[in-house]
Amino acid sequence: TLQLLTGFISRCPKSPRVAEALVYLGLCYERMEKPEKAVAFYDKALLFAAPPLAEKIKELQANLQANAQ
């Protein structure tokens, strides 16, 4: 999954779905218990996300921070 998503981002950097791919990468790293990498992908996704997705990303970030404490 990680290779597919990173490959998609490399091949289609201007796709409107790049933000979604970045979120999925963040979710993968979150499930692999690598929160620092998850946060980095969520932060990058926010740069490309439309408002509805941006709100979801902010929720994911808040949940990740809450779980870290």
Average pLDDT of span 54-68: 93
The tens digit of pLDDT for each residue in 26-41 reads 999 999 999 999 999 9
Average pLDDT of span 45-53: 95
DSSP assignments along the chain, one per residue: -HHHHHHHHHH-TT-TTHHHHHHHHHHHHHHTT-HHHHHHHHHHHHHH--HHHHHHHHHHHHHHHHHH-
pLDDT attached to residue 53: 96
pLDDT attached to residue 49: 95
Higher-confidence position of 68 and 65: 65
pLDDT attached to residue 69: 72
Report d(CA 51, CA 59) in Å as an integer: 13
